[in-house]
């Protein structure tokens, strides 16, 4: 059970990779054991418990089984937070994600179920638990900005609209998944050279969702909602791709928006390494080496 003075932080997808590194860094903060109660979200309970052992089983870290692609699991985790941890959160870090180089109908459905719809449902269930002046951090990716840059002008205009709604994003996502399934993605992203379109498209939607959620929630409890790119980090998600940076740096990028005073951040914006990023930008990466790496790992 948490005390009213404890800072309660949930990190999803935290049994490995960037999420795990984020919890390690939270534990290194001064007075962490007395001030922070950290929930280590993991789809698989055993892997979460193994991660806890790797951390040294600190008394203020608890494993929370949470599969963000399953509403049943999300509801169960929400009830566990209410029953065991005081029913309150100060910071929610939506880090859980999946990726694939394959762009098939099944892959599209699976990726969007976790990376977009899953986060939307998690936030719906957990926002009522966020305390006054809390924070919601949606871990997105710069590839989402690259994907938006390669979409048609009409779709870009919709995604960038200041009056965009969740229902409109859902419609754009539905059209994207349909285009993947019918192999007509060129009508949405003509001449794109990007790899893993399902993953990048899911992050386009998530960054846009963040802006909508920020408008919806900031007035209710003065909650800050932002999205973050952790950078291209060496994790299982990308098969430890060439040129990737340590996941600890990705954790730093996330924790910047957790620890920085609210006055120095803008609600609904997209950050990496302490700097605000545009919603849409051209790809700056040499994709040839990544294509070869993907083929080698296939």
pLDDT of residue 294: 43
> Which residue stretches of 55-196 are H helix?
71-84, 105-112, 119-126, 142-150, 153-160, 166-181
pLDDT of residue 290: 47
Domain covering 7-297 assigned CATH 3.40.50.2300 in the classification:
no
pLDDT of residue 291: 43
Distance CA 181, CA 109 (A): 9
264 Cβ contact partners less than 8 Å away, ≥ 6 residues apart: none
Distance CA 69, CA 79 (A): 17
Active site residue 117: no
DSSP 8-class letter at 151: S
Element (H, E) at 298: none
Three-class DSSP category at 30: coil
pLDDT of residue 31: 63
Cross-strand pairs, 62: 39
Distance CA 152, CA 244 (A): 29
What does the domain layout of the chain look like in residue ranges?
A: 7-297
pLDDT, averaged in runs of 10, over the chain (298 residues) = 76 96 92 82 97 96 97 98 96 96 95 98 97 96 96 98 97 98 97 94 98 89 94 69 80 96 96 95 70 41
Distance CA 98, CA 13 (A): 10
- Note the pTM of the prediction, 2 decimals: 0.93
Q: Which of 116, 117, 199, 271 is the catalytic position?
A: 199
Distance CA 218, CA 213 (A): 8
DSSP per-residue codes, 97-113? ----S---HHHHHHHHI
């Amino acid at each position: 059970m948490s005390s009213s003075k404890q800072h309660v932080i949930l990190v999803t997808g935290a049994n490995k990779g960037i999420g795990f590194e984020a919890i390690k860094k939270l534990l290194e903060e001064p007075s962490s054991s007395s001030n922070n109660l950290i929930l280590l979200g993991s789809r698989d309970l055993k892997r979460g418990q193994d991660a806890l052992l790797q951390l040294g089983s600190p008394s203020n870290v608890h494993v929370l089984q949470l599969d963000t692609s399953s509403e049943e699991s999300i509801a169960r985790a929400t009830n566990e937070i209410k029953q065991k941890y005081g029913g309150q959160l100060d910071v929610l870090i939506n880090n859980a994600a999946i990726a694939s180089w394959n762009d098939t109908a099944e892959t599209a459905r699976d990726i969007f179920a976790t990376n977009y719809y899953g986060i939307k449902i998690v936030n719906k269930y957990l926002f009522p638990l966020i305390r006054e002046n809390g924070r919601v951090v949606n871990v997105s990716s710069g590839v989402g900005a690259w994907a938006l840059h390669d979409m048609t002008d009409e779709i870009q205009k919709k995604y960038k609209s200041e009056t965009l709604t969740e229902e409109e994003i859902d419609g754009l996502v539905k059209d994207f998944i349909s285009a993947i399934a019918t192999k007509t993605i060129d009508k949405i992203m003509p001449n794109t050279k990007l790899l893993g379109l399902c993953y990048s498209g899911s992050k386009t939607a998530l960054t846009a969702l963040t802006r909508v959620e920020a408008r919806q929630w900031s007035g209710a409890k003065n909650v800050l909602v932002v999205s973050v790119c952790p950078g291209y980090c060496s994790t299982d998600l990308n098969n430890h791709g060439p040129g990737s940076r340590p996941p600890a740096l990705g954790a730093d990028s996330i924790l910047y928006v957790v620890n920085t005073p609210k006055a120095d951040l803008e609600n609904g914006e997209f950050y990496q390494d302490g700097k605000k990023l545009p919603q849409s930008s051209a790809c700056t990466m040499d994709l040839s080496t990544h294509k070869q790496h993907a083929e080698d790992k296939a």
